[in-house]
Amino acid sequence: MMRLNFTEINIDGLIGPTHHYGGLGVGNLASHSSRQKDSNPRAAALEGLAKMHLLDSLGIPQFHLPPLMRPNWPWLESLGFTGDRADALKRCFDLSPTLLSAATSSAFMWTANAATVAPSCDTHDQRLQLVPANLCCNLHRGQETMDRRDQLRALFAAVPDAIVHEPLPSVFPLRDEGAANHIRVCDRAGLNAVHLFVYGPPSENSGSRFMGRQFMGRQSELASRQVAKALQVMESDLFFVQQTVQAIDAGVFHNDVISMSNGNLLIYHEHAFEHSDTVIASLASRFHSKTNLELKTILVSESQLSLDEAVKTYLFNSQLISTDPDAMQLICPEQCRESVPCMALIQSWIDDATNPIKRVHFMSLNESMANGGGPACLRLRASLSSSQLPHLNKGFRADAACISELTQLVERWYPSRLTFSDLRRIDFAEHSQHAVEAIWKHVGHFCGYFSVDSDTSR
């Protein structure tokens, strides 16, 4: 049987006009520290579009998912905020500002949490598999699950041998936060791979397990195993590893805040995983037997980069991309350039002739970073075969022309300053909905998936 070439695509979520700092992200220190500060939705969206433009210019097929409609009126009404909408917003603001923040959240921008993906070359039935994440661990994020499922189904609708599953049931023991807790290491052709799923310490069976801990793990082992099962990846190609409590309590709420990977390269902090030496050795052994290649691993020690500095700079939330078979490029938050230990690490990687990272780009993503999301948070990766790639819905393609048009829409519709109290204003709510409608019209035939009344910290 002929083996097809595979290409990795990027899918970014366009940031919405209600982007604000609600402090809702569990264990997310940046989100908590920014709570109710003024935000700049226009700058946030333009920063995201600039990152998409960079990826497109580097030859990575770039796609985008439009913002979801916010406020989420059906959700607010289900909580009793019915009747006149202007009055409902004011009542919600006065009675429960947390609910209003959740109903207007733009956290769907962090598309790394939208789903977990396995390409057709990895699966039993040779189909591209996507499992939307239920995101049930957070008040604001669980609302987005079914809309993101529908958007992914619209994007992949015509792709041969692709399936977008239903998410896992939205119950705490099955809490799933998507690709932010999933690593796929593969050979240069992208054909042979091993999958690593990262989950938080057990908590669903014993409340006492929370004692002595600051934050809970936002991905459960049970969810990780069920997602892997739905993806139909071979059991021998699966590894499951637990996050350290130390990392979670330091603000590592997702694995992509403490490790990153691309191709056969895995970079991780010494406090990323429990029993990391054993796990990495087993992973490398399996990778070698599968690909006949070495798994290149880089261990970052606490002395090189402290957990606190890793969380502050989001070095591990950088994007690693392959621009040709022999070279990788690193897309980092601007905060990494301002950090002496981060720059020392990055320079050592570039200076090392055996390291595939040959170039680094620094991106200003300050609005996203203030809510706990760096470059890797903003994108979902998927590998498609040469026969699948042409069938993606072109309405979602973020090429230079599309990004230019979206930039104009953002500059026209998005506010440059948003205070927390603005969320109670009906004129702002209506303006935000008109802005999202304008973006949906740009996408075109996608508009039929949502009505205006269809249903933001990471």
Tens of pLDDT, residue by residue, the chain (458 residues): 445 688 999 999 999 999 998 877 667 666 667 677 889 999 999 999 999 999 999 999 999 999 999 999 999 999 999 999 999 999 999 999 999 999 999 999 999 999 999 999 999 999 999 999 999 988 989 999 999 999 999 999 999 999 999 999 999 999 999 999 999 999 988 899 999 999 998 755 444 444 445 777 788 999 999 999 999 999 999 999 999 999 998 888 889 899 999 999 999 999 999 999 999 999 999 999 999 999 999 999 999 999 999 999 999 999 999 988 789 999 999 999 999 999 999 999 999 999 999 999 999 999 998 888 899 999 999 999 999 999 999 999 999 999 999 999 999 999 999 999 999 999 999 999 999 999 998 877 444 444 434 434 44
Phi-psi region of 292 (alpha: psi -120 to 50; beta: other; left: phi over 0): left
Strands (E), 165-295: 182-186, 193-199, 238-242, 259-262, 265-269
Q: Are 379 and 398 in contact (CB under 8 A)?
A: no
**Residue 166: active-site member:** no
Residue 7 backbone dihedrals phi, psi, to 5 degrees:
-125, 135
Q: Are 47 and 364 in contact (CB under 8 A)?
A: yes
pTM of the model: 0.92
Active-site annotation holder among 177, 221, 270, 367:
177
Pairing between β-strand 379-385 and β-strand 6-13 as defined by DSSP bridges: antiparallel
Alpha helices in 58-117 (DSSP H): 73-78, 85-95, 97-103
Task: Spot the catalytic one: 332, 336, 342, 377.
Answer: 377
Q: Which residues touch 88 (CB under 8 Å, ≥6 apart)?
A: 76, 77, 81, 82
Token representation of residue 142: 């669980």
Q: Is 177 a catalytic residue?
A: yes
Tell me the residue length of the chain: 458
Cis amide prior to 67 (ω within 30 degrees)? no
Contact 14, 439 (CB under 8 A): yes
254 is catalytic: yes
Marked catalytic residue, from 20, 64, 182, 254: 254
In the chain, what are the domains?
6-449 (3.75.10.20)
Cα 439 from Cα 435, distance rounded (Å) = 7
What SS3 state is found at 120?
A: helix
Output the six-digit token pair for 265: 């390269």
Cα dihedral: 110, 112, 114, 117 (round 10): 170
